[in-house]
Structure 1
Amino acid sequence: MQHRKIAFIGAGNMSNSIISGLVKNGYPASAIFASNPSRPKLDTLKSEQGIQISQSNADVVAQCEVVVLAVKPQLMEQMCTELAAATKLDGKLFISIAAGLPVKRLQAMLQGQDNVIRTMPNTPSALAKGMTGLFAPSNISQADKDYAGQLLKHVGEIAWVNEESLIDSIVAAAGSSPAYFYAFLEAMQQEAERQGIDHDTARLLVQQAMLGAAEMVCHNPQLEISELRAQVTSKAGTTAAALESFAALDLNGIVAKSMQAAVARAQEMATTF
Structure 2
Amino acid sequence: MHQPNLAFIGAGNMSQAIFGGLIKQGYEAHRIWASTRTPEKLISLEQKYGIVTSTDNQELIRNAEVIILGVKPQGMQALLEELAEELQNKRPLLISVAAGITIEALDRWSGGGLPIIRCMPNTPSLVNTGASGLFANSTVNDQQRQITDAIFKAIGIVSWVDNEDLIDAVIAVSGSGPAYYFMVMEAMVSAGEQLGLSREDAKQLTLQTALGAARMAQQSELDPGELKRQVMSPGGTTEQAILSFEREGLPQLFENAMRRCKDRAAEMAAELNQ
Could you tell me the TM-score, scaled by structure 2's length?
Answer: 0.90
On the 8 A contact 1:117/1:134 being kept in 2, the answer is: yes
Q: Which moved more, 1:55-64 or 1:159-168?
A: 55-64
- Please report how far the alpha carbon of residue 6 of structure 1 lies from its aligned counterpart in structure 2 after TM superposition: 0.8
SS in 1 for 2:90: coil
What do residues 99-135 of structure 1 show as CA deviations (whole Å, max 9, x unaligned)?
2211111101112242111111122223332221111
| Structure 1 CA distance for aligned equivalents of residues 125 and 73 of structure 2 | 20
Residue matched to 2:51:
51
Residue matched to 2:169:
169
CA distance change for structure 1 residues 138 and 86 in 2, over 3 Å: closer, same or farther?
A: closer
For structure 1, the residue ranges without an aligned partner over 5 or more in a row are none
SS in 1 for 2:112: coil
What do residues 238-259 of structure 1 show as CA deviations (whole Å, max 9, x unaligned)?
2222222222221112211221
On the 8 A contact 2:4/2:64 being kept in 1, the answer is: yes
On the 8 A contact 2:87/2:110 being kept in 1, the answer is: no
On the 8 A contact 2:92/2:114 being kept in 1, the answer is: no
Residue matched to 1:198:
198
CA distance change for structure 1 residues 187 and 17 in 2, over 3 Å: closer, same or farther?
A: farther
Residue matched to 2:124:
124
Residue matched to 1:26:
26
On the 8 A contact 1:33/1:53 being kept in 2, the answer is: yes
What is the identity, as a one-letter code, of the residue corresponding to 1:182?
F
**What is the count of residue pairs matched by the alignment?**
272
Residue matched to 1:266:
265
List aligned pairs for 1:235-246, cutoff 5 A.
Answer: 235-246=234-245
Please tell me whether residue 230 in structure 1 is matched to residue 229 in structure 2: yes
SS in 1 for 2:23: helix
SS in 2 for 1:172: helix
RMSD, aligned α-carbons: 2.1
| Structure 2 CA distance for aligned equivalents of residues 73 and 113 of structure 1 | 21
On the 8 A contact 2:88/2:111 being kept in 1, the answer is: no
- Please report how far the alpha carbon of residue 89 of structure 1 lies from its aligned counterpart in structure 2 after TM superposition: 4.9
For structure 2, the residue ranges without an aligned partner over 5 or more in a row are none
On the 8 A contact 2:18/2:151 being kept in 1, the answer is: no
Could you tell me the TM-score, scaled by structure 1's length?
Answer: 0.91
Residue matched to 1:186:
186
Q: Which moved more, 1:114-123 or 1:12-21?
A: 12-21
Please tell me whether residue 3 in structure 1 is matched to residue 21 in structure 2: no
CA distance change for structure 1 residues 42 and 176 in 2, over 3 Å: closer, same or farther?
A: farther
| Structure 2 CA distance for aligned equivalents of residues 9 and 261 of structure 1 | 31
List aligned pairs for 1:4-153, cutoff 5 A.
Answer: 4-39=4-39, 42-84=42-84, 89-153=89-153
CA distance change for structure 1 residues 49 and 184 in 2, over 3 Å: closer, same or farther?
A: farther
CA distance change for structure 1 residues 233 and 43 in 2, over 3 Å: closer, same or farther?
A: farther
